[in-house]
A = this chain, B = another copy of it.
């Protein structure tokens, strides 16, 4: 089968940052599905792995990355019970295994959902990773209760990005929260409002911006930018008994004590925790993806795809990564095979 990968971590502008190659089509065993991929999407985790997985070394075989995908089940392992050959599926994969930048991929059925029927392949491919991340951060990490927390306020840092775009929708339409999103460019501000944000503020002078918008404190903060850069502002803005959650990591230690008198909480969300640790509840991602598919088909949620490239190739992967690395992407970027 055709695939795209890399042998060395290189800047995206290098000729060899991605290479086209041929490799053997895998065979499914156990709970695995063999999926013939029809479209994929790119995410920041892709370029972080590309930049770091083969630093100062050359791999014997090219590494296949990429995690968001949509396709058709072509064969199943002997323990598969949730899907059958011919089913259309979408998923965000497992970073411990070969990715979706290829014609075919093996994927554990417990982290796969039925493709939203109303969406194109490329729009469906744009949704799994960000939807799982946003769903888990709201409902599994913060444990937002649709009853108990209704009408509370969430501040979403980087509302126009991939995760931000679906997090705004889930926070507003499913959790019933008031949503403040951050965005700085005019088109990002418009996009956040389109996704359902009640208020959009600039991330510069965050505390002042949020206070000027009429909020002394916010109940929840979702950080999709950087924990270290925003720690003091988040500690200032979080409401007593509030909850901050982030997907970004923190390069340096954090003054956790700033949250103490407020009895505030902090959660990390890493969408690959369930598959990496093979948690007992990893099938929850199957359930979430199916629920997201229903919400998309019922037009309660809208897809967040904004741009599509045509064809699986090193050239297109390079274009996609370069775009993402610019940090200005609104919504999601997909590649249709």
- Interface, chain A (partner B; CB < 8 A): 136, 140-141, 143, 145, 227, 240-241, 249-257, 259-270, 272-274, 276-277, 279, 281
Contacts and interface: CB of A to CB of B under 8 A. Distances in A.
A92 to B, nearest CB: 14
Contacts of A276: 240, 261
A143 B143 contact: yes
Given A277-B240, A279-B240, A257 B265 contact: no
Contacts of A227: 256
Nearest to A273: B263
A257 B263 contact: no
B264 A268 contact: yes
A99 to B, nearest CB: 18
Given A240-B279, A250-B256, A257-B249, A268 B262 contact: yes
Given A263-B141, A266-B265, A253 B255 contact: yes
Tallying the copies of this chain within the complex gives 2
Given A241-B274, A254-B254, A264-B268, 13 more contacts: A140-B241, A240-B274, A241-B281, A249-B257, A250-B256, A251-B257, A253-B253, A253-B256, A260-B268, A262-B268, A262-B270, A263-B269, A265-B267
Contacts of A256: 227, 250, 253-254, 256, 266, 268
Contacts of A267: 263-266
A333 B227 CA distance: 42
B143 A263 contact: no
A270 B262 CA distance: 7
Given A253-B255, A254-B254, A266-B256, A261 B273 contact: yes
A129 to B, nearest CB: 14
Nearest to A277: B240
Contacts of A140: 241, 263
A195 B255 CA distance: 34
B141 A240 contact: no
Contacts of A251: 257
A256 B231 CA distance: 12
Nearest to A261: B270
A151 B241 CA distance: 26
Contacts of A266: 256, 265-267
Most central of A143, A241, A262, A269 by chain B CB within 10 Å: A241
